[in-house]
Amino acid sequence: MSLPHALLGLLAVQPRSGYELTKVFEQDLGRYAWQAGHTSIYPELNRMAEKGLVEVTSEGARGSRTYAATDAGRAELRTWLMSPPTQAKVRNEQVLRMFMLSALEPADALVVLQRIAETTDRAAAELRKVREAEPDALTGPEGFGQLAAEYGLRQYEAVRDWAGWAIERLEREA
Amino acid sequence: MSLPHALLGLLAVQPRSGYELTKVFEQDLGRYAWQAGHTSIYPELNRMAEKGLVEVTSEGARGSRTYAATDAGRAELRTWLMSPPTQAKVRNEQVLRMFMLSALEPADALVVLQRIAETTDRAAAELRKVREAEPDALTGPEGFGQLAAEYGLRQYEAVRDWAGWAIERLEREA
DNA sequence: GGCCGACGTGTCAAGACTGACATGTCGGTG
DNA sequence: CACCGACATGTCAGTCTTGACACGTCGGCC
């Protein structure tokens, strides 16, 4: 169960409300690492507060509650992060599609690969532009930091290069 | 719901039994793209057979049933693969850990990053060795093909490079 | 002052997934 | 020929996740 750890990690860096946390999951975090909607976040925050992993530090307008990680929460987070990597759970629909391409006719597969190459290339360019134009946007309340941006960039580039390799391979076979 | 599509993709390439499918999910497919245990695979196969997406082509020893994709199944698979990429579902505990590193003390984060770099580097080397030593193992009933191997390799290398970048960045800050 | 969109939190039913448990078969080794 | 490990399929309860629905608030624009 990774959601509590994800929330703990976010709240250890800076206090946020459930609503703000939801926004983060819609950005880089949800795109590369772990997705979650507000319908799982709010109940989870309540459960974690009961367990003493997080606490409400202030209440704002419109009934908003700002949470922060407690010492117990930080300890739990550290334990999780420092523990040896077990066989991780992976679920990535995009990658699944790529793996299934060999089930298509080569001509169809080529079309899809081409689209993948284009899409990821565009995404990488976009990310590079954002990072250079406004580096602060990445560290703001919704962005997730330089680490994530760099990871995403390298990820896109790797996929684009892989797609290019696959296209070349398919064309050589034809 | 991606599991049926994953099964369809596998069965479109070659007929397999539920047991064999389970094995594939324990290999590359489950490691990079989508994991599933036999407890979800068997019921799903039955559902898909009812819908006419797959069919039992032969029954072997120990009650084993070999499934193959039907024409309807292939059509469904093609539709799915050719349709424009929607916002994909991503869930990767390993990546989540990486994203949460900024919540740790730099010294701790460094330790974890170093371990990530080592682990992925070893995994990449391993994969490279397997591919060169016995390229046929990749295309056998359990392997998932050159495409997957290449993807995994590039993936590992990207993560390793990213970790190296992050380590350098952390050390420069210190 | 009314309206609307973003803010902000929540429930609930339906569906998906995991891990524990269950059951039986075939092939090879000692 | 007894045993064991791999083969092979299955159920089920508990948990997690998703999507639909629900409700109220604040700020800004017309």
B144 in Cβ contact with B151 (< 8 Å): no
Nearest CA-CA partner of A104 in B97, B20, B82, B158: B82
Per-residue pLDDT, B140: 52
Same domain, A118 and A76: no
Q: In whole angstroms, give the CA distance from residue B97 to residue A147.
A: 12
SS3 content of chain A, % helix, strand, coil (to 5): 70, 10, 20
Phi, psi (rounded to 5 degrees) for B21:
-60, -45
Residue B51 inside a domain? The answer is yes
**Cβ contact, residue pair A99, B157, below 8 Å:** no
Same domain, B70 and B27: yes
Q: Which of A53, A93, A113, A119 to mutate to test the interface with B (most CBs of B within 10 A)?
A: A93
Residue B42 beta carbon within 7 A of nucleic strand D: yes
Same domain, B118 and B156: yes
Per-residue pLDDT, B131: 84
Residues of chain B contacting residue A169, judged by C-beta atoms under 8 Å apart = 146
Degrees to nearest 5, angle at CA B170 with B94 and A136: 85
Give the CATH number of the domain where residue B55 resides.
Answer: 1.10.10.10
Same domain, A65 and A134: no
Question: What one-character DSSP code corresponds to residue A111?
Answer: H
Question: How do B65-69 and B54-59 pair as beta strands?
Answer: antiparallel
CA to C1' distance (Å), from B30 to C20:
22
Same domain, A78 and A7: yes
**Residue A37's domain spans which residues?**
3-82
Residue A32 inside a domain? The answer is yes
pLDDT over threshold 80, residue A174: no
Residue A88 inside a domain? The answer is no
Same domain, B123 and B169: yes
Which residue does chain B place closest to A143, by CA atoms? B99
Same domain, A74 and A138: no
Residue A152 inside a domain? The answer is yes
Same domain, A77 and A109: no
Per-residue pLDDT, A97: 94
Degrees to nearest 5, angle at CA A69 with A50 and A138: 135
Same domain, B62 and B129: no
The 10s digit of each residue's pLDDT in A106-120 is 999 999 999 999 999
Per-residue pLDDT, A19: 97
Q: In whole angstroms, give the CA distance from residue A5 to residue A29.
A: 13
What total of structural domains would you count in chain A?
A: 2
Confidence of residue B137 (pLDDT cuts 50, 70, 90): low
Residue A69 inside a domain? The answer is yes
Same domain, B169 and B98: yes
**Cβ contact, residue pair A81, B95, below 8 Å:** no
CA to C1' distance (Å), from A173 to D13:
51
Query: Lowest-pLDDT range, A146-155, B24-33, B41-50, B144-153?
Result: B144-153
- Tokens 């530090």 sit on residue: A57
Nearest CA-CA partner of A108 in B121, B135, B81, B1: B81
- Tokens 């199944």 sit on residue: B73
A10 in Cβ contact with A24 (< 8 Å): yes
Buried b (16+ CB within 10 A) or exposed e, B142-152: ebbbbbbbbbb
Q: Which of residues 50-69 of B touch A (CB under 8 A)?
A: none
Same domain, B117 and B59: no
Nearest CA-CA partner of B151 in B127, B130, B117: B127
Residues of chain A contacting residue B92, judged by C-beta atoms under 8 Å apart = 32-34, 88-92
Same domain, B111 and B165: yes
Per-residue pLDDT, A148: 87
At residue B43, the 3 state secondary structure works out as helix
Residue A87 inside a domain? The answer is no
Residue B20 beta carbon within 7 A of nucleic strand D: yes
Nearest CA-CA partner of B70 in B48, B86, B92: B48
The 10s digit of each residue's pLDDT in B19-78 is 999 999 999 899 999 999 999 999 999 999 999 999 999 999 899 999 999 999 999 999
The 10s digit of each residue's pLDDT in B109-127 is 999 999 999 999 999 999 8
Last residue of a domain, one of A40, A58, A82: A82
Residue B45 beta carbon within 7 A of nucleic strand D: yes
The 10s digit of each residue's pLDDT in A7-64 is 999 999 999 999 999 999 998 899 999 999 999 999 999 999 999 999 999 999 899 9
Q: What is the 3-state secondary structure (H, E, C) of B47-114?
A: HHHHHCCEEEEEECHHHCEEEEECHHHHHHHHHHHHCCCCCCCEEEHHHHHHHHHHHCCHHHHHHHHH
Last residue of a domain, one of B61, B82, B103: B82
Last residue of a domain, one of A61, A82, A103: A82
For A60, residues 6+ apart whose C-beta sits below 8 A from its C-beta are A17, A66
Average predicted confidence (pLDDT) for chain B = 91
Which residue does chain A place closest to B80, by CA atoms? A97
**Mean pLDDT across the stretch B91-95?**
94
B128 in Cβ contact with A71 (< 8 Å): no
Residue B87 inside a domain? The answer is no
Establish if A75 touches chain B: CB-CB under 8 angstroms. no
Residue B88 inside a domain? The answer is no
For B106, residues 6+ apart whose C-beta sits below 8 A from its C-beta are B170, B173, B174
pLDDT over threshold 70, residue B141: no
User: What are the structure tokens assigned to A109, written together?
Assistant: 């597969």
